[in-house]
Amino acid sequence: MTTIDDRLRQVRARIASACARHGRDPAEVHLLAVSKTWGPDAVWQAWQAGQREFGENYVQEGVEKISALRALGASDLVWHFIGPLQSNKTRAVAEHFDWVHGIDRFKIAQRLSEQRPPGLGPLQVCIQVNLDGGANKAGVPAAEALALAQQVAALPRLQLRGLMCIPEPAPNFAAACRVFGQLAALRGQLQAPLSGLALDTLSMGMSDDLEAAIASGSTLLRVGSAIFGPRAYASGKEK
């Protein structure tokens, strides 16, 4: 039977070999284990195998898992909220998570900043960009990213770290690189000297396209099924 430990090793080997092939420093490519739909025991197994950063899509499920892992004595985990976020759920996210990847509206960012408890450090955030404009409607259009980034960067309790995208699955490596390359180029534009923005994060690449994401400059891979196995219920369900 393939264990989480085995699969994590395989994913790390894929990352190392893609970094070697594309001239990337492996220290610049972080692995986020997307544990949505999996119970605290699965997170605990990944934690024992050395994994520290975890991604969750559903607020209630994530908050319960964060408490469960704390009760198990795992205190050094970093939790990323990577799902769609409605304004009535921002408080729980501001109180329990370390990162939020899907910022695409100023109103949501403003609430997160207001609701971030004073005892915690600033919430780390990425702006989600909609590159293909297709079925996946979350994310701000590339042309509006700079204006939103400047507004978000000015909020006192948030730290803007970079850009994130969830493109439609691409038919091949070259096509995936073209889309990911657009996000990398956009980061370059937003960092232009006069903007005053410092963006160290490109959150892109999942189980099926992490090699193309690494080739295109990803610094944060969000990998679920390649680590935990196939999910029992489909992504996109809001709990």
Ligand X SMILES: *Cc1c(COP(=O)(O)O)cnc(C)c1O
- Residue numbers at the binding site for ligand X (CB under 6 A): 34, 36, 57, 82, 166, 206-208, 222-226, 235
Measured from the CB of residue 61, what is the shortest distance to ligand X in angstroms? Answer: 12
What single letter denotes the amino acid at residue 192? A
Measured from the CB of residue 223, what is the shortest distance to ligand X in angstroms? Answer: 5
What single letter denotes the amino acid at residue 84? P
Measured from the CB of residue 195, what is the shortest distance to ligand X in angstroms? Answer: 26
CB-CB neighbours of 175 under 10 Å:
15
DSSP 193: G
Closest-by-Cβ residue to ligand X is 224
Considering the complex, state which of residue 40 and residue 83 has its C-beta at the smaller distance from ligand X.
83
User: CA-CA distance, 100 to 181, in Å (whole number)?
Assistant: 22
User: CA-CA distance, 53 to 106, in Å (whole number)?
Assistant: 26
Considering the complex, state which of residue 125 and residue 166 has its C-beta at the smaller distance from ligand X.
166
Tokens read off for 80: 């990323």
Report the sign of the C-alpha dihedral through residues 37, 10, 79, 185, in that order.
Answer: negative
Considering the complex, state which of residue 191 and residue 225 has its C-beta at the smaller distance from ligand X.
225
Measured from the CB of residue 119, what is the shortest distance to ligand X in angstroms? Answer: 28
Considering the complex, state which of residue 112 and residue 164 has its C-beta at the smaller distance from ligand X.
164
Considering the complex, state which of residue 79 and residue 157 has its C-beta at the smaller distance from ligand X.
79
Helix (H) or strand (E) holding 178: helix 173-190
Partners of residue 103 on adjacent β-strands: 127
Burial class (CB in 10 A: 0-12, 13-18, 19+), 62: buried
Measured from the CB of residue 84, what is the shortest distance to ligand X in angstroms? Answer: 9
3-state secondary structure at position 99? strand
Measured from the CB of residue 236, what is the shortest distance to ligand X in angstroms? Answer: 8
**Tokens 């990911």, residue?**
180
Considering the complex, state which of residue 153 and residue 226 has its C-beta at the smaller distance from ligand X.
226
